[in-house]
Amino acid sequence: MSWLKTWVNEWRRTAQIALEFHRGFRFFTVSRGKTPLVAVFGSARLGAHSPEYGIARELSFRLGKAGFGILTGGGPAIMQAGNEGARAAGALSLACNIVLPREQQPNNSIDRMMTMKNFFSRKTMLIHFSSAFVIFAGGVGTLDELFEIMTLMQTGKIPRSPIFLMGSEFWRGMDTWMRESLYSRGTIDQQTLGLYKIVDDIDEVVRELSQHYKSAKPRT
């Protein structure tokens, strides 16, 4: 009867995944309301001592004052800076946390948060409910989020939305590699390179997002 046990385990796992997606879509639909959200991504290791932390906090504050809510992964460092900035501005501060072997503790500047077990369902929530993306320096997790967003836009699975890579010193090497190794070999096209914009200026991000979404509605 090993086949039956396997089938039951597979059905249980599928049901758990489906339930997590259902709970996530319901939670963020209600929590967001009609507020357009900007997702802030970045390293969980660049704490308050780093220049990126202050920039992420100030940018999120400015975006909050401009009418946007902030959505993060709920953890420390850059994520915490994003939620702090939103809260200081009196803006909506949301998060989608993740259960890890060494549990990621949520920061204390979140209005409402949901914690998920699976990275793929967590990323779906962070991407689906965001109207724009600001991505700070980070490791493989941050790069995974960036390239998944770009892949979904490139293939038309989600609408094209602004992607700002904050910090030219950090992102310049990746941009050079994409142009000289990928674009030159024909593995990506010019449209893909146009999906993101490398910036250093907070004012530029706030201005462009405010203009872009002046009459825009959040995704449904």
- Domains in the chain (CATH in brackets) are 2-212 (3.40.50.450)
Tokens of 13: 């796992």
Residue 153 clears pLDDT 70, i.e. is over it: yes
* Beta strands in 35-162, from DSSP E residues, in sequence order: 37-41, 69-72, 93-98, 112-116, 132-135
Angle at CA of residue 26, ends 210 and 196, nearest 5°: 35
- The pLDDT-based confidence of 13 (bands split at 50, 70, 90) is very high
The whole-angstrom distance between residue 6's C-alpha and the CA centroid of its chain comes to 35
Q: How far apart are CA 214 and CA 210, in angstroms?
A: 6
Residues paired with 41 in a beta bridge: 135
Give 27-49 pLDDT, tens digit per residue. Answer: 999 999 999 999 999 999 999 99
Percentage with pLDDT > 90 across the chain: 89
∠27-40-118 over CA atoms, to 5°? Answer: 50
Closest CA relative to residue 69, chosen from 46, 94, 45: 94
Question: Is a pLDDT exceeding 70 seen at residue 11?
Answer: yes
pLDDT at 139: 97
- For the segment 177-204, what is each residue's pLDDT rounded down to a tens digit? 999 999 999 999 999 999 999 999 999 9
Q: What pLDDT, on a 0 to 100 scale, did the predictor assign at position 100?
A: 86
